[in-house]
């Protein structure tokens, strides 16, 4: 897939997407919204009422889903190791007060990408996210890539092997999306830093 970002003369970025590329990216972002979820459970109005959102507390335990755990990691302790009670308590307290905002930001970034893609209609076209939108696009692309990486169980050692998968491998479509998102992310970063 050729859809990559390029720097524009005004210092922003632009990406030309074919219809199929826009549809794939939109589908992935919709799935990201479903994975992240609607927001804090048991906090009526927290999504629309800024005052209620200030007092919304999040969970104290890391998500059981490995992809969500990668998107919302513990702030304290070493990943993959059992934490002592003090570290676990500190991580839980930090998560309780920060995860709702982080989830909200990730949802908003995914929605920004979806809304941008919706402006293309059904034929594809060129998107030009402004300077304030580029970091949000970068975050949304990163979230997708991290999630696919977890689902594919990608490690640094075997990332190169992803290029050599046979077409018969059932992971091939997800691997292609993972590699494309990585290239898109890299091209956006290069466009942003000029």
Over the stretch 96-140, which tens digit does the pLDDT of each residue have? 888 999 999 999 999 999 999 999 977 889 999 999 999 999 999
Cβ-based burial of 5 (10 A; exposed 0-12, middle 13-18, buried ≥19): buried
Question: What is the domain extent for residue 108?
Answer: 5-57+100-193
Residue 177's pLDDT is what?
94
Cβ proximity of 15 and 127 under 8 Å = yes
Q: Does residue 176 belong to any structural domain of this protein?
A: yes
Q: How many domains does the chain have?
A: 1
Q: Does residue 85 belong to any structural domain of this protein?
A: no
Q: Does residue 88 belong to any structural domain of this protein?
A: no
Q: Under 8 Å CB-to-CB from 162, ≥6 apart: which residues?
A: 152, 154, 175, 178, 179
Q: How many Cα atoms are found within 13 Å in the side-chain-facing hemisphere of 76?
A: 15
Residue 1's pLDDT is what?
41
Tokens of 22: 């826009």
The CA-based angle 188-135-120, given to 5 degrees, is 65
Report pTM. Answer: 0.86
Q: Does residue 74 belong to any structural domain of this protein?
A: no
Q: Does residue 34 belong to any structural domain of this protein?
A: yes
Over the stretch 139-164, which tens digit does the pLDDT of each residue have? 999 999 999 999 999 987 777 788 88
Over the stretch 37-60, which tens digit does the pLDDT of each residue have? 876 554 444 556 666 655 667 788
Q: Does residue 62 belong to any structural domain of this protein?
A: no
pLDDT tier at 71 (50, 70, 90 boundaries)? very high
């Amino acid at each position: 897939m050729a859809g990559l970002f390029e720097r524009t003369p005004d210092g922003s970025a632009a990406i030309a997407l074919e219809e199929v590329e826009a549809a794939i990216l939109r589908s992935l972002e919709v799935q990201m919204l479903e994975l992240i979820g609607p927001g804090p459970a048991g906090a009526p109005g927290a999504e629309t009422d800024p005052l209620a959102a200030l007092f919304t507390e999040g969970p104290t335990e890391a998500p059981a889903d490995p992809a969500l755990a990668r998107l919302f990691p513990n702030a304290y302790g070493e990943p993959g190791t059992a934490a002592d009670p003090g570290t676990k308590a500190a991580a839980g307290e930090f998560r309780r007060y920060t995860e709702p905002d982080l989830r909200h930001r990730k949802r908003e970034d995914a929605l920004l990408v979806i809304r941008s893609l919706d402006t293309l209609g059904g034929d594809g076209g060129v998107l030009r996210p402004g300077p304030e939108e580029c970091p949000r696009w970068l975050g949304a692309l990163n979230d997708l890539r991290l999630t696919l990486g977890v689902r594919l169980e990608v490690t640094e050692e075997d990332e190169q092997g992803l290029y050599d998968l046979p077409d018969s491998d059932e992971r091939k479509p997800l691997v292609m999306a993972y590699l494309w998102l990585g290239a898109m992310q890299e091209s956006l970063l290069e466009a942003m830093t000029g």
